[in-house]
């Protein structure tokens, strides 16, 4: 009998903290974290979960440069020796945009926003496997999608394969569309369909783990095609939606999904999507 697959401990934040998942992957001797929550209170609870495993933290792997995936690293890690690993574009985007995100969100969330960020301290190229806690993770670069750079981390060894896909796919919630790159996201989903093992189990940034990658990715694509069409019709070439149009968008997408959570993401993100469509050549 081969070694047991590592245990995966999911920490899920509340709905006002985006239902975001962070994962602790428990190896024989140490633990690897995949992302860390957005709010200080969640990051402390995540840290307490880690402490209760009574194994050291071997490193943190970052999926993409959104604060609900990296903010909490500042609470999780207090030692510069612990590697915080990202692909180059993810690292660059975090450093470039963290100050403006802090300026925008501290007035909204107050003390729940960490006082300072802890940025990645090790940048690795796509495809280069990382060995931590006796586990082997390979980063796959899917390029722009839900954010400017999406990494999926494949845990090598277990069958069926375990893949941490960040925000490539949402389950049970509306997605964040505020970076205005839904066309690129659809392409990234197609690339993922060609890349992922059909037996893989996907661990998502928001929602429960899911099997059948191909159909899950297809469903996310369909959602994006649908919301692009709804926003196109509402906006009619404008780069913003009115409050009334946003309400209509939420109603339509609520019906389409059978009542997915986090409708506020649509209100945050719909202007970015309208602008994306208005600026697209041949829109
Ligand atoms: Zn995200």
Distance CA 234, CA 209 (A): 34
pLDDT for 252-276, tens place per residue? 999 999 999 999 999 999 999 999 9
Strand locations in 16-56 (E): 21-26, 31-34
Distance from residue 37's CA to the centre of ligand 1 (Å)? 11
pLDDT for 141-161, tens place per residue? 999 999 999 999 999 999 999
- pTM, two decimals, is 0.96
Which pLDDT score is estimated for 283?
Answer: 44
Distance from residue 146's CA to the centre of ligand 1 (Å)? 6
Distance from residue 49's CA to the centre of ligand 1 (Å)? 23
Distance from residue 184's CA to the centre of ligand 1 (Å)? 14
Beta bridge partners of 85: 61, 122
Query: pLDDT grade, residue 5 (50/70/90)?
Result: confident
Distance from residue 28's CA to the centre of ligand 1 (Å)? 30
Distance from residue 3's CA to the centre of ligand 1 (Å)? 33
User: DSSP string of 151-206?
Assistant: EEEEE-S-SS-EEEEEEEEESSBPPP-TT--HHHHHHHHHHHHHHS-TT-EEEEEE
Distance from residue 75's CA to the centre of ligand 1 (Å)? 19
Which pLDDT score is estimated for 282?
Answer: 53
pLDDT for 44-55, tens place per residue? 999 999 999 999
Distance from residue 180's CA to the centre of ligand 1 (Å)? 12
Please tell me the chain's helix, strand, coil percentages from 3-state DSSP, rounded to the nearest 5: 40, 20, 35
Compute the average pLDDT of residues 185-196: 96
Distance from residue 66's CA to the centre of ligand 1 (Å)? 5
Distance from residue 64's CA to the centre of ligand 1 (Å)? 7
Place of tokens 């659809």: 186
Residues written for the chain? 283
- Per DSSP, the three-state class of 215 is helix
Structural domains of the chain ordered from first start:
7-222 (3.60.15.10)
Distance from residue 99's CA to the centre of ligand 1 (Å)? 17
Cα distances from 75 to residues 35, 69, 90, 114, 204, in angstroms, run 12, 13, 20, 8, 22
pLDDT for 97-150, tens place per residue? 999 999 999 999 999 999 999 999 999 999 999 999 999 999 999 999 999 999
Distance from residue 2's CA to the centre of ligand 1 (Å)? 35
């Amino acid at each position: 009998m081969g070694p047991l697959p590592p245990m995966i401990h999911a920490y899920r934040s509340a709905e006002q903290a985006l239902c975001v998942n962070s994962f602790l992957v428990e190896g024989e001797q140490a633990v690897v974290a995949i992302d860390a929550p957005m709010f200080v209170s969640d990051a402390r609870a995540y840290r307490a979960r880690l402490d209760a495993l009574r194994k050291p933290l071997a490193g943190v792997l970052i999926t993409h440069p959104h604060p609900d995936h990296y903010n909490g690293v500042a609470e999780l890690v207090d030692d510069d020796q612990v590697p915080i690993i990202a692909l180059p574009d993810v690292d660059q985007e975090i450093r470039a945009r963290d100050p403006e995100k802090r300026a925008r969100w501290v007035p909204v969330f107050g003390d729940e926003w960490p006082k300072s960020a802890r940025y990645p301290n090790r940048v690795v190229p796509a495809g280069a496997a990382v060995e931590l806690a006796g586990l082997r993770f390979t980063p796959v670069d899917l390029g722009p999608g839900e954010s400017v750079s999406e990494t999926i981390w494949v845990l090598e060894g277990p069958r069926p394969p375990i893949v941490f896909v960040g925000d490539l796919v949402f389950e049970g919630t509306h997605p964040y569309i505020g970076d205005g790159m839904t066309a690129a996201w659809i392409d990234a989903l197609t690339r993922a369909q060609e890349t992922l093992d059909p037996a893989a189990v996907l661990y998502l940034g928001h929602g429960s783990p899911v099997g059948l990658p191909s159909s899950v990715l297809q469903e996310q694509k369909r959602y994006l095609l649908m919301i692009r069409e709804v926003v196109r019709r509402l906006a009619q070439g404008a780069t913003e939606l009115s409050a009334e149009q946003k309400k209509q968008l939420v109603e339509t997408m609520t019906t389409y999904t059978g009542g997915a959570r986090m409708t506020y993401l649509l209100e945050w993100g719909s202007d970015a999507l309208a602008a994306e469509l208005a600026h697209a050549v041949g829109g």
